[in-house]
Amino acid sequence: MSQLGREQNRAAPRCSVVVPVYRHWARIPALLYCLEAQSLPRDAFEIILVNNEPEADLPALPEGVRLVECSVPGSYVARNRGAAVSRGEVLAFTDADCRPEPEWLAAGLAAAGTPPVQLVAGAIRVEKVSAQPSRWEIYDAAMALPQRRYAREGFGATANLFVPREIFRALGGFSEHRYSGGDRDLCLRARAAGRALVYQDQAVVRHPARTTREAVIGKLRRIKGGQIGEQALLGRIKGFLRTFLPPVHAWRRALRRRDLPWRERWVVVAVQARLWPAEMAEALRLVFRGKGAERE
């Protein structure tokens, strides 16, 4: 390869890792440690952190990590800002509180393939972090971010999502008015445009489970806001009506989880029953007040 070719190769990494950061700067050193431990050669990917918190106390960042400022609230706006300055052929999205395993990038890029490239939803392992986890932590570890099921439904959560640059640009990126559901929206638009999405179980990130009632209900409210407050009229009506149906499917999924002890399965069922009234209350609040919950 000529000197010019080598320079061009260094200027255009295979992959750009884009991470929005809001109130989670203390977790960034652990994330960067995991990224530096990737099996993919370091010059094959770049790391872009997007600060979405005005007046944040930013830590010193190691050489080679790019920092982008985004004053407009919202993780999807921040991801778009990071993608706009990225140079990789594939955009790899994850979150500040995630911990990618060493084969994460290599496996995700292998699944994205060569032309025609495709979107990849990688595995998300939600893990309990407490020695004596609360019922809320048990619930979140069992039910949060079921990426394999998401992929069957045609989308992937941005905690672990690979999107080829050409597809991202053609779609105009994430919808910036959303605080929740922007990943699903982008993936379904890609599917409607004839692009494929696959699930890759070898591209793993680990995510800590939420440990409190407030954190679990806060996430529920943001999801409900995406289902009702940020959809077209028909989607809002469907999301509203579904809320008032008993969560039978969630109960059934919990009871069928052979990887969980029976005690934990019943804990999940009981917590899901307690969350149902909160979900209905949030749906009514969105209809009559029209404003979704604040972002995380």
Q: What CATH number does residue 115 fall under?
A: 3.90.550.10
Neighbours of 251 (CB within 10 A): 16
Question: How many domains in the chain?
Answer: 2
CA distances from 206 to 94, 96, 104, 210 (A): 10, 11, 10, 13
User: Residue for token digits 């440990």?
Assistant: 211
pLDDT at 155: 96
Q: Does residue 295 lie in a domain region? A: no
Residues 197 and 255 in one domain: no
**Which tens digit of pLDDT belongs to each residue from 223-278?**
877 777 656 667 677 778 888 999 999 999 999 999 999 999 999 999 999 999 99
Between helices 262-289 and 213-224, what is the axis angle to 10°?
50
Sheet holding 99-100, edge to edge: 65-69, 45-51, 15-21, 90-94, 160-164, 119-127, 197-208, 99-100
pLDDT at 4: 38
Residues of the domain holding 230: 213-289
Please state, in angstroms and rounded to a whole number, the distance separating the CA atoms of residues 68 and 246: 43
**Which tens digit of pLDDT belongs to each residue from 25-39?**
999 999 999 999 999
| CA-based nearest residue to 293, from 80, 73, 124 | 73
Please state, in angstroms and rounded to a whole number, the distance separating the CA atoms of residues 92 and 94: 7
Domain end (from 162, 184, 208): 208
pLDDT at 117: 80
Residues 120 and 240 in one domain: no
Residues 184 and 224 in one domain: no
Residues 122 and 202 in one domain: yes
Q: Does residue 87 lie in a domain region? A: yes
The segments of the chain whose pLDDT lies below 70 read: 1-11, 115, 229-233, 235, 290-296
pLDDT at 230: 58
Residues 75 and 43 in one domain: yes
Residues 89 and 204 in one domain: yes
Quick check: pTM over 0.85?
yes
Residues 218 and 202 in one domain: no
Q: Does residue 140 lie in a domain region? A: no
Residues 52 and 186 in one domain: yes
Residues 112 and 177 in one domain: yes
Please state, in angstroms and rounded to a whole number, the distance separating the CA atoms of residues 136 and 209: 9
